[in-house]
A and B are shown apart, each in its own frame.
Chain A
Amino acid sequence: MRRAWGIGLLLLGMVAGVAAHGAPVLAADPAGSVEQGAPVRLAVRAPSPDAGTEFAGVLRALGGDTLSLVDDDPDLVLALGEQAFRDALAADGPPVLGLAVPRRAADQLVTDACRCSAIWQGVPLDTQLALLRALLPEARRIGILRAPDSVWRAVPPAPPGLTLEAVTVPEPGRLGALLRRHLPEWDALLLPEDGALFDGGAARLVLLTSYRQRVPVVGPDGAYVRAGSVASARVLLKDLAAAALDAVHAQRRLGHWPAPGFAGHYSLAVNEHVAGAYDLSPVDRAPLERILEATP
């Protein structure tokens, strides 16, 4: 009897685990070719062998025997990062999916003529804003800093009771002056993904300036959180792999890649030390993670 319970739990766990990681999209697809049992042959192109190996390992763990990772004659190519995506497109081979490609590059590279698509780098601003609202509900005046050619030109509409003020930083050298000018007017600062504006060199300026003025920062990624940002949604390898498997499934089912978009799978990063200084610690992660799960 106990053994029967054990086997039952085992099966339940396997089903739950597979479902949770998105890999079964291949196995559970009612209309795709995978149901015939033939694993899809995927090739991973990465900026370095180590990155490729790591990503392949995660893919394999999530996809199980529904996929086969190959070097030659793949059905589909997964290209990790902008450069690998460009290289794969230049090779003119099987359909290519770019992963973690900056949105601006993806807009340029994904054309009607190519059999390709892309998962954009980063996290949607809406998602970060939802995270900020859940973490800092009393923040009423939220500032956003962005570059003039930012992909975040369209700031999400301010929810009732909130003021969203987006300030354009014409050049990185002006970042300090604009922070000094606007931070006193804000309750929280939301940083969108913007490699040009919020690179490593800017972190010290942004985080120390905002901390001195007691304005918590949310975003733009996990590295900023480790450096001193309160929290951020971010894309881990497992999130990227899950997004890739979603896209592979859609491609097999539809015959073409889905349109470029965000990963749709996000993880939460929280800096408990900094959260503690803003009286937010310990952060209750569960509701925040539910928000991330619910966002597209």
Chain B
Amino acid sequence: MEVRGHKTLILAFLPWLALPARADAPFDSDSEVPRVLTPARLDQPISEVPASVTVIDRELIRASGARELFEVLRLVPGMAVAKADGNVPTVAYHGTQARDTRRMLVLIDGRSVYQPGFARVSWNDLAVSLEDVERIEVTRGPASAAYGANAFTGVINIITRDPRDSVGQQVSARAGNNGIRDVRLGASHQFENGAFRVSVSSQRDDGYDAGLTPLESGDAKRVERLNSRAVFELSPRDTLTVHAGGSRSRLDRPPESGLQALADYYDDTQQVGERAFFGLDWQRQFSPRHQLKVSAYGQHTNEDTNLDLCFLDPLTGAQGPGGGLFFSQELRDLYLANNSDIGQTLAAAGADPAIQNRYATLQASGARAFCGRAWLDTQETRYDLEIQDTLQVTDWARLVAGANLRHDRAESQVFLSGTAENVSRRLFANLAVKPVAPVTISLGGFWEYDDINGEHFSPRAGINWQVVRGHTLRASYARALRTPDIYEDQARINLPITDLNAPFAGNQQALLGWDPAYFFVTQQSPGMLKPERIRSRELGYYGRFFAGALGGIELDIRYFREELWDLVSGPLNPFEFDPANDGEVTHRGTEAQLSWRPNGQHLLRLTGAHVHTETDNGTEQRFAARDSASALWHWRLGGGWSWSSAYYLARDYNDYPFERLDAQLGFRHRLHQTEVEWRFVVQHPLNKEPVVFVENKYQDDQRYWIGATVTF
């Protein structure tokens, strides 16, 4: 009887079964189009990623009116962004220390610009201008399982414009108050099997308020950048990408407070930086399900900061030959004998016979002062080779796995007294499986071994459940680490002095007791630091849906708890050097980001974060704003006109609230074969408070500039 029933069912569908198989064949030009191996087939949508992700695309970048790359990161919920140290920006996700640029990884086209020698990201010197950027993807939360050590609180991945998508040649200029003078030239060319683009830019401004004694200017900056990228489509399956570029920066630096008590500056201090990089990516698409990528790059950084000083006589407090005591062999010996305590050393110096003799020698030298130049020098070089394989194992399983070999080298006479190296070997794998259609389970891990820190493993696990179409719940757990940098592990601080005035030049042995002569303060790392650790738990929601008359909405909400321990919280400068894993921080809170596009003319984007920070070390919460928010509205008025306005809030950075309103008016029009775009931008601080530190005061209440871009 069962059999009969089945037969009946089959007969009932006979009309369909009677159709020949070719009935589903197309009759048009279908069969003539070759299959394009788009990377789309192996990409992972945001709703399936086991982390909160913020994407800032070109439209948002343009709408923000930002001049500098780091500024657009204010659109990321929970991101602390400020020029915390004069003209040196600090960008930190769930910020801790005010000058903290070492707990987040930053990549440009997959190349790490996190500098391992001195653990930092130098935002001023990134060899890419904002106009070169296609989009910025920010992973909010630890991501060492995918990127390795130092993807600690998050990862910023800056993706530059593909030359195949670049439009013609561009000339742009910008001028405004506060010394803003920017110029950029860009060129691109598409050829049969590829394309290239190159841009050269110069950016300068006068920074924060003047008036820092004894010098008038302390934070002006000028940066020149070169960025280029070429793509060669070697075959329908093989693509070779070449990246090359560099930057040169000159930053006016304010006086070092530690030195100001001992010396007078006789000339401005400038930090001069030079950077260069070269990289190759080869990508082979074996099939729509299988892709291999091999990347190699090298990069070099060179930074020098001059300190032009006349040292004060410790007895008179005025410039005099007695200032040479600070570079004498005897004071160094006394400093070491006093367990590297500067205060105790200076207090005991007057009664020390050897110091008294040296002082008498200096006074007898006939010099009117002891002046010279010290250089804070750093050089860092990295070579990196990585192979990554992406495989859609089945329709429900996707695996990314690979290996990486990296060589880092740092050199500094001042900070390392020579050269130090570190080699790391890494293996990684991330698996995403969909056991049932609406559920994605992600498991990943990153194993690494390096010469300084030994062996480590960073895991991550997450589950994403699409409750209904367009609405996904997410839970994830991750651990990550920040490995001590070469400086933290192998610091050996010795500050030499050059260009001494007569009679000290050439007579250091006789007048100072040693040659070369060093500043009496020295520091040495015990080399016992452990990696900093973070553990993160997250519950999140991601929605992308159409709300009828309201239009399209994208919403991400995240509740998190992050525990950081073994933090190197103490200062590590020549005057204060406290290398210890004694810091602990706990962040917990909620973040949200909303993009609302009611129609084709308007875009509204809101972000907000409320973070509770608990720590046993006050410096670890200077950059931790309890409440932060941004609101951006972009309106395409038509006829080439556009308007955007933005509001940014961070309450507080080091007890000072940051609140600013930006507005931008744009007009784009065609002039014969060229396109001209005008933009007028105003940034208006909503309070008179300094930014992070009291010396960071604006010279003007408002900043404004006008810019023009000609594309032809």
A residues whose Cβ falls under 8 Å from a Cβ of B: 2-3, 5-6, 9-10, 12-14, 16-18, 20-21, 51, 54-55, 57-58, 61-62, 80-81, 99-100, 121-122, 137-141, 160-163, 176-177, 180-181, 183-184, 187, 193, 195, 199-200, 203-204, 207-209, 211-214, 221-224, 226-228, 234-238, 240-241, 267, 273-274, 276-279, 281-282, 284
Contact = CB atoms under 8 A, between A and B. Distances in A.
Interface in B24-38: 24-36, 38
B23 A235 contact: no
Contacts of A51: 27
A237 B24 contact: yes
A122 B18 CA distance: 26
A227 to B, nearest CB: 5
B672 interface: no
Contact of B551 (A138, A204, A238): A138
Contacts of A278: 40, 45
Contacts of B600: 140-141, 161-163, 187
Given A61-B20, A195-B29, A273 B598 contact: no
Contacts of B48: 279
Interface in B263-318: 288
B473 to A, nearest CB: 15
A163 B19 contact: no
Contacts of B34: 200, 203-204, 227
A121 B27 CA distance: 9
Contacts of A16: 15
Contacts, number: 212
A294 B112 CA distance: 53
Task: Point out which of A14, A177, A279 has the most chain B C-beta atoms below 10 A from its C-beta.
Answer: A279
B15 A100 contact: no
A237 B666 CA distance: 51
Interface majority SS (helix, strand, loop, mixed), chain A: helix
Interface string B130-168: 000011000000000000000000000000001011111
A184 B484 CA distance: 41
28 contacts: A2-B5, A9-B9, A13-B15, A14-B12, A14-B15, A58-B19, A58-B20, A61-B20, A62-B19, A80-B27, A176-B190, A187-B597, A200-B32, A203-B33, A203-B36, A208-B36, A209-B164, A211-B40, A234-B30, A236-B23, A236-B26, A237-B22, A237-B23, A238-B19, A238-B23, A277-B38, A277-B45, A279-B46
Nearest to B29: A195
A175 B46 CA distance: 30
A221 B22 contact: no
B27 A100 contact: yes
Contacts of A208: 36, 38, 164
Contacts of A237: 22-27
A235 B11 contact: no
Given A213-B134, A234-B26, 7 more contacts: A9-B12, A137-B552, A138-B545, A180-B165, A226-B35, A236-B27, A281-B45
A209 B167 CA distance: 12
Interface string B35-68: 1101111011111100000000111000000000
Contacts of A139: 552
Contact of A274 (B16, B30, B41, B599): B41
B584 to A, nearest CB: 38
Task: Point out which of B12, B162, B288, B437 has the most chain A C-beta atoms below 10 A from its C-beta.
Answer: B12
A2 B30 contact: no
Contacts of B30: 221-223, 226, 234
Given A10-B11, A21-B15, A200-B32, A276 B58 contact: no
Given A199-B29, A226-B35, A58 B22 contact: yes
B15 A18 contact: yes
Which 3 pairs, one residue from A and one from B, show the smallest C-beta to C-beta distance? Answer: A17-B15, A138-B552, A163-B600
Contact of B544 (A9, A274, A279): A279
Contacts of B24: 236-238, 267
B1 interface: yes
Contacts of B544: 138, 279
